[in-house]
Structure 1
């Protein structure tokens, strides 16, 4: 049930009637007509921009359209339609509409707000994709939470979602990992490790060194690098990926697919993707202009194989093969995205750190070319997280050597608190994470505030049941909900009604943080109504000696609980039944 979509249908129906009656010219485009909450709640329950967006194409004054449209909005759900300003149309709805929303929410349960807007659409979300060279750090936490919550949101709105991790195991960093692991292997054999500059110094490689000793004994000691590099590289990469999978599991994230960059080399996949671009006339040999600003000392003009990415919106063309014949890092990325297109995805979403900003245009150009514009790519950049404890910067992890790990954060704050807090800012805004503040019990801590609302819902249901009131969903939906008549009660029902619309808007924008914001708002409204009951006994949810009235009020509370439970599930958080 999406009340806003239903009422938009009523408005569009009235506009069609106006067209048939000659009050509007034929052929007008109604796609931009919207019905949404007014900016000022005092103006009504809903507002439509129909007159404003149709005035120019219709060659009419907005107010003239609005007056005629208002006269045709005779749906019984609409109590009044008032023209305001130059032509906005504000709608006030009958209380029975909001009472009906409460019934629908309780009746639908977890399905309330679930949408089919994405039905038939296959979406691939690639996120985390950390180099397999060590444990995940705090920057990966935010990207992992965002990607997983986005996947849950899109699935809730009907999309067929695949979560994918791209293992960057084809570059020089995995050779550095192998050399670092070899030093820990020497250490396991009683020798002094040589953790020289450029190697990974973290203690997390000590168990890898011990595992290497268990497998190889002393057989690799004093052997030249070419004898052991490839084997230790594979061994260490697998060990790191096992650790990364464990890190993700600790955060409640489960990937559907793990893809390997290394698997693209020597299989013809890179060559096939480049050949596809070449067949479109987008590959050529040329020399790039020097970079703007101060030139790097090692820069020199040289002919390279280039992708004409500027033909698809990029600022400049991009090299895909070096002058020595080796592929640039961009070439396997092109092949990997071509593989996702070939697997039949209708939308691609990449979740990357803020330092990948320069990657966006070139990758969009490649996907647009490779899919002939059929498959959109949305690259979501994740800004940094700054960690604090009691206002002071949180110190680095000794185990990792150079950074705070995902495990550090989860062990300190808990996985679910971490997930919620990571979604309290838009992905492209920086986020401060203070361990003391995210665990405090106050309105300023959004996760506690929302969970407190969830616990209050369960508390009401328990107390009512103890008083002998039937609080089963069937009893609540059969209750006389016309008794929900107080403005404060109807206001809370209005907030419940916004949930299906919010889900679709958040899914369309790929912005799961909107769910966290909405949960805070509806929790605040529930707490407000609860507190008003302290002064006005008629607003208390359980009415002494009046089970029928109690059931109507409890139905409203249950409807709020349905929304909070579904919203927290999208964030990957379990709703609290009581506060401890």
Structure 2
């Protein structure tokens, strides 16, 4: 049930009828017609821009169209009033029965309420986290992990066929640095004094890896040259780090469907095949790039390189794919990786990157556009930085990691549910302040608590009513008579429930899971407002002593709120609580 979509159908059918009567021209475009909540609730329950967007193609004044449309819409039993406002907006008020029906539908559909078929099984690959396998995940990775996981769940909820993927960056020089760092810990495990040079990883998390390497190979590498031990230690260390990363992700409840190794692209012909595709499309050439912006001519050494003509697909400049020494640039394997995704048959690609990858967006989109002939869209979502605070001070770095606050540090402070919800209280491209004290504060200012408290309150009502001998099962609530649900505060809750299916589709279409968190806060606020109003007006309380029938009708609305909150929290990866502790 998507009430806004249903009323939009009503509007377009009324326009068709007016066209058949000759009041409006035939064949008017409906694409930009919207039915949505008005910015000012006092204007009504819904508003449509139909008259405004049809005025130009119809060659008529907007108000003229709106005045013809309003009486037709008012003929429908769901519409209480249809009023023309301003130059031609149409404000609609719906009958109480419509909102009473919403609560019924939520109870009838249960967890399926709000689920959409919008995605139509379209195959979407969501790649997120993809941290270098050189250490534990840090707080920046945490935000990307939560965002990507919630986005994947949201798309799944909206009817897409989603694959969650992690790209293991195990093909670059940083993994050689990891191997050398582990080797130092290996020497240390043998009782030798070591010094970590600049560029190596001094974190304590590698102590166990060095000891594990000793347990595996004994003293075989003690006096060996680097060319003997580098490759096997590199593989051993990468496996150890990926095991650590999987453990970190598990703390957040993040489970990937697929891990893809960058190393698997080298020596297998995959990079060459991807580049050959671009060659065949006339997009690879030898050339010299202009100096980067801000570089003086004397700072720039022009040299001929192999370039990808990415400007043909929306980039600002062409990009090098092979260095002057003949080796691949870091961009080449990324092209091959995305070519592999295209070849695997995905209809849409989404990459979740850190804030430092902003300059990478256009070139990667250009590559996917070129490799797929523009048939596979790539959306890149950048997650901005997270600043951590505790006791009013910046949260100190993790000693174990050596240089940063880890995902584990955060989760151990507040738990996975709070971590996930807080990470989604800002849009991904906005910086986020994560205050540990506020995250566990029991107040309206803490959205995690406020939403969980709403769900717990409903569970409390159900427990107390059942203990009092009332039948408050889902079936009994579904059969309750809701015709008495007419108070403005009750209707406000039902109206917010009606927005859920529409919100899901908007959030999925825009790839913005934070909208779910915002919506849940608003729904919880309406539920709390109704609860508080009941403190002053006993007739609004969910449980009416000695009146099981009325109690069921009022509790049905509360139960509907709990159903939607649980569904929304499920998308965010947060477990709804039944009581606050």
* TM-score band, normalised by shorter chain: over 0.9
8 Å Cα contact 2:291-2:297 kept in structure 1: no
Partner of 2:576: 575
1:266-281 maps to which residues of 2 (within 5 A)?
266-281=267-282
User: Is 1:540 aligned to 2:541, yes or no?
Assistant: yes
CA distance in structure 2 between the partners assigned to 1:270 and 1:315 by the alignment = 23
Partner of 1:254: 255
CA distance in structure 1 between the partners assigned to 2:356 and 2:511 by the alignment = 20
CA distance in structure 2 between the partners assigned to 1:89 and 1:177 by the alignment = 64
1:381-530 maps to which residues of 2 (within 5 A)?
381-530=382-531
1:233-252 maps to which residues of 2 (within 5 A)?
233-252=234-253
Equivalent residues, number: 580
CA distance in structure 2 between the partners assigned to 1:509 and 1:22 by the alignment = 38
Structure 1, unpaired ranges of 5+: none
Partner of 2:68: 68
CA distance in structure 2 between the partners assigned to 1:450 and 1:110 by the alignment = 17
Structure 2, unpaired ranges of 5+: none
Secondary structure in structure 2 of the residue aligned to 1:267? coil
CA distance in structure 2 between the partners assigned to 1:511 and 1:164 by the alignment = 18
Partner of 2:42: 42
Secondary structure in structure 2 of the residue aligned to 1:174? helix
Residues 333 and 111 of structure 1: CA distance in aligned 2, closer, same or farther (over 3 Å):
same
Post-superposition Cα deviations, 1:357-388, rounded to whole Å, max 9, x if no partner, equal 01000011111111111111000000000011
CA distance in structure 1 between the partners assigned to 2:237 and 2:265 by the alignment = 20
Partner of 1:365: 366
CA distance in structure 2 between the partners assigned to 1:553 and 1:43 by the alignment = 27
Partner of 1:105: 106
8 Å Cα contact 1:284-1:305 kept in structure 2: yes
Per-residue deviation, 1:299:
4.0
CA distance in structure 1 between the partners assigned to 2:545 and 2:217 by the alignment = 76
User: Is 1:59 aligned to 2:59, yes or no?
Assistant: yes
CA distance in structure 2 between the partners assigned to 1:167 and 1:213 by the alignment = 25
1:7-406 maps to which residues of 2 (within 5 A)?
7-73=7-73, 74-295=75-296, 299-406=300-407
Per-residue deviation, 1:465:
1.1
Per-residue deviation, 1:440:
1.1
CA distance in structure 1 between the partners assigned to 2:93 and 2:265 by the alignment = 59
8 Å Cα contact 1:390-1:437 kept in structure 2: no
8 Å Cα contact 1:82-1:89 kept in structure 2: yes
* Residues 436-445 or 236-245, more deviating: 436-445
CA distance in structure 2 between the partners assigned to 1:163 and 1:115 by the alignment = 20
CA distance in structure 2 between the partners assigned to 1:401 and 1:545 by the alignment = 64
CA distance in structure 1 between the partners assigned to 2:158 and 2:181 by the alignment = 45
Post-superposition Cα deviations, 1:249-303, rounded to whole Å, max 9, x if no partner, equal 0111000000010100111111111111111111111000011113598741111
8 Å Cα contact 2:310-2:367 kept in structure 1: yes
Per-residue deviation, 1:193:
1.7
Secondary structure in structure 2 of the residue aligned to 1:482? coil
Alignment root-mean-square deviation, CA? 0.9
CA distance in structure 2 between the partners assigned to 1:25 and 1:334 by the alignment = 50
CA distance in structure 2 between the partners assigned to 1:203 and 1:312 by the alignment = 45
Post-superposition Cα deviations, 1:117-168, rounded to whole Å, max 9, x if no partner, equal 0022000000000000001000000000000000110101111000000000
CA distance in structure 2 between the partners assigned to 1:220 and 1:26 by the alignment = 82
Secondary structure in structure 1 of the residue aligned to 2:499? helix
Secondary structure in structure 1 of the residue aligned to 2:303? coil
Per-residue deviation, 1:194:
2.2
Partner of 2:563: 562
CA distance in structure 2 between the partners assigned to 1:296 and 1:225 by the alignment = 40
CA distance in structure 2 between the partners assigned to 1:286 and 1:102 by the alignment = 65
* Residues 123-132 or 434-443, more deviating: 434-443
Q: Normalising by structure 1, what TM-score?
A: 0.99
Residues 236 and 296 of structure 1: CA distance in aligned 2, closer, same or farther (over 3 Å):
farther
* Residues 290-299 or 418-427, more deviating: 290-299
Per-residue deviation, 1:46:
0.4
CA distance in structure 1 between the partners assigned to 2:505 and 2:15 by the alignment = 24
Residues 296 and 260 of structure 1: CA distance in aligned 2, closer, same or farther (over 3 Å):
farther
CA distance in structure 2 between the partners assigned to 1:476 and 1:296 by the alignment = 76
CA distance in structure 1 between the partners assigned to 2:414 and 2:34 by the alignment = 42
CA distance in structure 1 between the partners assigned to 2:330 and 2:17 by the alignment = 58
CA distance in structure 1 between the partners assigned to 2:197 and 2:31 by the alignment = 63
8 Å Cα contact 2:420-2:572 kept in structure 1: yes
